[in-house]
Structure 1
Amino acid sequence: VGGQLMGSEPEEFGPAARRLVESGFHVIDINFGCPVKKVMSRCRGGYHLSQPEVALDIISRVRDTVPAEIPVTLKMRRGIDDSSESADNFFMIFDGAYARGLSAITVHGRTVDQKYVGPSNWEFLKQVKQHAGEKTVIGSGDLFSPQSCLDMLRVTGVDGVSIARGAIGNPWIFQQTADLLRGKSISPPDVTEQREVISAHFELAREFYGDKKVCNTMRKFGIFYSELHPQYAEVKKAFIAVKTAADWLKVLDQWYTENAPGRFPPVEKPNPLSLETPAV
């Protein structure tokens, strides 16, 4: 299990990394990729791609703090924007990170300015992997199905893939991708299995957030989970209407009691280089 660091001040990263190590995390990851406005306004996440000297200082502080046997990794986007300066900054950080002892780098194929608009640039990921040679590069962006994960590996040659938004409401995507890589057939979880996972997720969230806050937090997850249900439109409406923990359990009783085959969540805009068929 990896713990991720995100912040603005370099001197904060070493002590924070030490706390993650003391908490038992197996990998320490540094986030230079988040494009969210409130993160950028606080000079965190993807903002560091605009200041390579500061970014490399952070990397050095973390790597120097974390015991040698614990891997330190980095998550970054392909730059702030499409300018040549941004590209130069990317490779300065990318190469400098490996030179400072990082074990792997995850690269998202969009710029920070793109946020989540437009496709992830898989051709750029291919160039990055070729540049890196034997160093471990993990690809990210537009991974919403097992097929898209295999397609990224095929197109880019990266060593692994990092599934992010594609796992929201669909934690089965990891095992499905692993099975597809091994040549096995895959199928979506049936309604009974969906209920088991959704119930476990809800109870963990309720334990952490409490009854008053759990529904606001879990509503968006319920909407994503509904995409796997055979009656997804009605189930989505039911999750949207939830206001209390009791309401949530009623949705499960109403829609997840009788078993039925599930469905794969639709991929509306697959990456242009993927073999995925767009949802109609």
Structure 2
Amino acid sequence: MNELRLPSDGPLSWAAELPFYQAGLAGYSDYAMRMVARKHGCPYCITEAMLDHFLINGGKGLEVAELREDDHPICGQLMGSHADEIAAGAKILDGLGYDVIDVNIACPQKKIKRKSRGGHLLSVPDEAIEILKAVADAVEGSRPLTVKMRRAFDDSNEALDGFHKIFQAAIELGYSGVTVHGRTVEQKYIGPSTWESLRKIVDEYGHEHVRHAATKHQKFMIGGSGDIWQTSDIFAMIEQTGVDVVSVARGCIGNPWIFEQARAMAQRKKGGGQGVGDKQGGDAPRIYEQRDVLLEHFELSMQLYGEQQAARMMRKFGIRFSRHHPEGEQIKAAFIKVKGLDAWQGVLDEFYAVDGVGVGVDAAVPDEARTQVSEESCGS
């Protein structure tokens, strides 16, 4: 019997060699962030979740979804509460040229629950399955489909049963894979991600094949998510749980070097050399490297939003980037005050004019990684 394997061509072919990607992050993972990540070795990116009715209604919601030629392979993530509307949204993403379409039934935010979408759907598995079927029917096999889930709605046996019902339906409906976050919806981002739950999922479903693939030997891809803060976490999750790929979410905000380091580590593990750049899979980015990325990210953001909106958008990125600099607290305070390109450049001139060694990888991990308490938007 032939061994199951991850795809060797198509938009998911990266997974066999580079088992990580940038997650969809509400309020963060726009074109600018994705391009910075790609430049640093990220093989695949997911958009932040797009609401189906925003796509259907056109205008700004549809404009944001439009793609650029250099932004591939790209997965468009959809979220909605009605099967007919999310099917219409899937057709729009299909027409826009997204390589993969992902259905989000993971987001734990209160406003999502009130709208009966995202992670709420894990509490109503029949409705979730109806949505998955509607998307599959709408796309008609034109491109791979994936799902983002959490390990259950809560810790009850009933919720766990619902999770498995949805997961099994994704397999039977021909989806190419599911990424599971190791927290429940009720947990939000409080407490640790339970990697052991991912191990159990792999043990149960790790030998499934993609039902609608051209060959029965294409492996159903299982991804893991939650508490990925540095490069070593990516490979620790793979080793401890057996997942095929790892979703890097909050850990890559203000830290595109995680992908450069992960690519280098993946290639060294396969005996293929260092990979992108000079990183050894964990070296701190130097001050000049940080400066160049900060400037590039701001300029890309200006192309999208104009100077004033980009300045507002980039403050939160600057705060995240500041943790790599020895004077992080002062830089954080300075970025908070930024209102335009001149002010942004002023921070770079003041703190990034002299090259030097950045903060070590462990020290640069954000506080929420240590406290395991966060109210971040959907993503990890």
TM superposition score normalised by structure 2: 0.68
CA apart distance, 1:245: 3.4
Please say if residues 191 and 261 of structure 1, whose CA atoms lie closer than 8 Å, have aligned partners that are also in contact. Answer: yes
CA deviation profile, 1:70-120 (whole Å, cap 9, x unmatched): 110000001111111110100000011111000010000000111100000
Of structures 1 and 2, the one with the larger relative CO (CA 8 A, separation 6+) is 2
**Alignment partner of 2:151 out of 78, 85, 89:** 78
Partners of 1:64 and 1:101 lie apart in 2 by 10
Corresponding residue number in structure 2 for 1:111: 184
Whether 1:141 aligns to 2:211 is no
Whether 1:227 aligns to 2:312 is no
CA apart distance, 1:266: 2.4
The SS at the match of 1:189 is coil
Partners of 1:267 and 1:220 lie apart in 2 by 13
Corresponding residue number in structure 2 for 1:51: 124
Partners of 1:189 and 1:115 lie apart in 2 by 31
Please say if residues 119 and 271 of structure 1, whose CA atoms lie closer than 8 Å, have aligned partners that are also in contact. Answer: no
Letter in 2 for 1:250: G
Corresponding residue number in structure 2 for 1:99: 172
Identity, % of aligned positions: 43
The SS at the match of 2:246 is strand
**Alignment partner of 1:167 out of 231, 238, 252:** 252
CA apart distance, 1:69: 4.4
Alignment of 1:1-280 (within 5 A): 1-134=74-207, 135-183=220-268, 184=274, 185-186=280-281, 187-263=283-359, 264=361, 265-266=364-365, 269=369
Partners of 1:38 and 1:91 lie apart in 2 by 25
The SS at the match of 1:29 is strand
Q: Which moved more, 1:241-250 or 1:134-143?
A: 241-250
Please say if residues 142 and 270 of structure 1, whose CA atoms lie closer than 8 Å, have aligned partners that are also in contact. Answer: no
CA deviation profile, 1:52-84 (whole Å, cap 9, x unmatched): 111111111111222424110000001111111
Partners of 2:289 and 2:96 lie apart in 1 by 32
Instruction: Summarize the Cα distance change of 1:259–1:67 in structure 2 as closer, same or farther, 3 Å threshold.
Output: farther
Letter in 2 for 1:193: E
Q: Which moved more, 1:63-72 or 1:4-13?
A: 63-72
Q: Could you say what the CA RMSD is over the residues aligned between the two structures, in angstroms?
A: 1.8
Instruction: Summarize the Cα distance change of 1:161–1:10 in structure 2 as closer, same or farther, 3 Å threshold.
Output: same
CA apart distance, 1:171: 1.2
Partners of 1:2 and 1:261 lie apart in 2 by 35
The SS at the match of 2:223 is strand
Q: Which moved more, 1:142-151 or 1:195-204?
A: 195-204
CA apart distance, 1:208: 2.2
Partners of 1:136 and 1:66 lie apart in 2 by 19
Please say if residues 230 and 260 of structure 1, whose CA atoms lie closer than 8 Å, have aligned partners that are also in contact. Answer: no
CA deviation profile, 1:192-249 (whole Å, cap 9, x unmatched): 2222221121122223223332222211110000011132222112112223332222
TM superposition score normalised by structure 1: 0.92
CA apart distance, 1:267: 5.6
Q: Which moved more, 1:35-44 or 1:71-80?
A: 35-44
Please say if residues 138 and 160 of structure 1, whose CA atoms lie closer than 8 Å, have aligned partners that are also in contact. Answer: yes
Partners of 2:296 and 2:255 lie apart in 1 by 14
Letter in 2 for 1:14: A
Unaligned runs of 5+ in 1: 273-280
Q: Which moved more, 1:138-147 or 1:49-58?
A: 49-58
